[in-house]
Structure 1
Amino acid sequence: MTNHQDREFPAAGRLAELRSGLDAVERRIDAACAAAGRPRSEVTLVVVTKTYPASDTRLLASLGVREVAENRDQDAAPKAADCADLPLTWHFVGQLQTNKVRSVVGYADHVHSVDRLRLVEALSGAVLRAERPELGCLVQVALDKEAGEGEGRAGVAPEDVLALADAIADTPGLRLDGVMTVAPLAGPLAGDPAAAFTRLAEISTAVRATHPAATMVSAGMSGDLEQAVAAGATHVRVGTAVLGVRSPLG
């Protein structure tokens, strides 16, 4: 399937741009793993394709990308349908409203942004109705809430992570995969991604004490992936460093 967005970039030139960006990010991850004494195989690159057309996702797949992420269902659902023939794993990483759950369950393999019990219940119901395999869920941790900041932001406070993790693990149709965070903009960890990701690693260790299979630690983006790898991230979510900067699709 093609659409008007797929004609936005000349394919050959865009392929070269994407190859260059992807190679640069892979070199950064290689160097970060080497510096941290970690095998490269421990870190998965998830390319965040939000605001970019399905044609870019196809080109990335031709370059060997297998893990892609989206943060808005209205963009992700048609793109996933367009790319349904590709061997891709889809990650949903944005704030998720319950009225979008049915759609997201139709294509996502992992939801990184589980932050409340009502969402857990909605995801479970949608998975069971769809009769699909278990959906992987990560608890989104809002590190600024540990200091009483960021009350309006997505994510749960660190002290509430274990309870939500237990709920996910105990809910039919869902699989607890791990934890996710974004470097906080407020609180004592603001401006210090290394400390923030170290705190996430501590929270991950606490979760795995009860749920050993919840090994995913999703942290790090284009600007701070090295700090995330150093702190033990298993998945880094990188968009602009691979795809470049462009205006949103709308």
Structure 2
Amino acid sequence: MSANIKHVRERIAEAAHTAQREPSEVTLVAVSKTKPLEMIQIAYNLGIRHFGENRVQEALSKIEVFHPADLIWHMIGHLQTNKARKVVSAFDIVQSVDSLHLARTLDRLLAEEATDQEPGRLPILLEVNVASEASKTGVTLTDIPDLARQVATLPHLEIRGLMTVAPQVEDLEEVRPVFRALHEARDHLRDEILGPTCTELSMGMTNDYVIAIEEGATIVRIGRAIFGARAYT
């Protein structure tokens, strides 16, 4: 795994330099879904601090056991509202908010858990289905501004940016317009609606993260290139 992580970091640095960016501008999230806790601990000991999970129950069993203070857990999968309560108490950021209903549910649950102290706001990303694929969740590009305006009124959530999953294609250049469109949408949100805290672009996985970084990704979600093939689907 050490060689895998080293290789991924080298490719991140190369892609960043190609785009005249600093490698430090890109956060590497190791996608640890289906992987045993032992592998997560090895990756942590090798310097990984951000981990992404998409199955709530599986993730909770890991988080309960392994939660060093500097480890950041990302919820990256589709989130059903009936599992939202467990997510707000365990995850540090939710990358997959795809509806106002889900956002309101998260906000209400956070309010219920608030103590006398002023609670922090949960960082979230709005999930966007840029290519309008029927098999994927996420709002359309045209729906982003209205959703962002409504979510921005919720006191316990903070929109940090946008997330997308690109289509699987043979020619990776075909995903470049998808990433570019998300970048433009993020810039519009930041400049016209949300302000300077809207900085994140979570896009790019094992197959296409180099292109994503060239197109402005600030977060890449890498599983197979770090941990190897999934243990199950």
Q: Aligned-pair distance for 1:144?
A: 2.1
CA distance in 2, matches of 1:133, 1:57: 27
1:141 and 2:141 aligned? no
Structure 1 counterpart SS, 2:112: helix
Give the C-alpha shift of residue 247 in structure 1. 2.0
Deviations 1:191-238 (A, max 9, x none): 711111011111111111121211000000001011100100100000
Could you say which residue in structure 2 is the equivalent of 1:195? Answer: 177
Helix, strand or coil: the match of 2:201?
A: strand
Query: RMSD in angstroms over aligned alpha carbons?
Result: 1.8
User: Which residue is 1:243 aligned to?
Assistant: 227
SS of the equivalent of 1:170 reads: coil
Query: Paired residue for 1:64?
Result: 47
* Structure 2 stretches lacking a partner, 5+ long: none
Instruction: Give the residue type in structure 1 aligned to 2:176.
Output: A
How far apart are the structure 2 equivalents of 1:51 and 1:167? 34
Counterparts of 1:223-238 in structure 2, within 5 Å, are: 223-238=207-222
CA distance in 1, matches of 2:2, 2:14: 18
Identity rate, percent: 36
Superposition deviation, residue 86 in structure 1? 5.0
Q: For 1:87-113, what per-residue CA distance to the aligned partner results, in whole angstroms no more than 9, with x for missing partners?
A: 201110000000010001111111111
Change beyond 3 A, Cα 1:219–1:126: same
Distance in 2 of aligned mates of 1:71 and 1:246: 13
Is 1:207 aligned to 2:207, yes or no? no
Among 194, 203, 209, which residue is 1:219 paired with?
Answer: 203
Report the CA distance between 1:116 and its aligned residue: 0.6
Match of 1:183 among 166, 176, 188: 166
2:70 alignment partner in structure 1:
87
User: 2:167 corresponds to which letter in structure 1?
Assistant: P
Cα drift, residue 40 of structure 1:
1.0
User: In structure 2, what is the equivalent of residue 157 of structure 1?
Assistant: 140
Give TM-score scaled by structure 2 length: 0.92
Following the alignment from structure 2 to structure 1, what is the Cα–Cα distance between the partners of residues 174 and 215?
A: 12
Alpha-carbon separation, structure 1, partners of 2:17 and 2:135: 38
CA gap of 1:83–1:235, structure 2 versus 1, over 3 A, is: same
Looking at structure 2, the residues matched to 89 and 245 of structure 1 have their Cα atoms a distance apart, in angstroms, of: 23
Counterpart-to-counterpart distance in 2, 1:89 and 1:52? 17
Conserved? CA contact 1:182–1:220, under 8 Å: yes
TM-score, normalised relative to structure 1:
0.86
Q: Distance in 1 between matches of 2:226 and 2:151?
A: 32
Question: Is the Cα contact below 8 Å between 1:141 and 1:158 reproduced in 2?
Answer: yes
| Pair 1:152–1:241, CA change in 2 (3 A) | closer
Contact 1:95–1:154 (CA<8 Å) still a contact in 2? Answer: yes
Q: Supply the distance in 2 between the matched residues of 1:67 and 1:192 (Cα, whole angstroms).
A: 28
User: For 1:155 and 1:215, how far apart are their aligned partners in 2?
Assistant: 19
Q: Which shifted more, 125-134 or 105-114?
A: 125-134
Paired residues, what number? 226
Does the aligned pair in 1 maintain the 2:179–2:215 contact within 8 Å?
A: yes
Local SS of the residue matching 2:90: coil
**AA at the equivalent of 2:126:** V
Contact 1:36 1:229 in 2 (8 A): yes
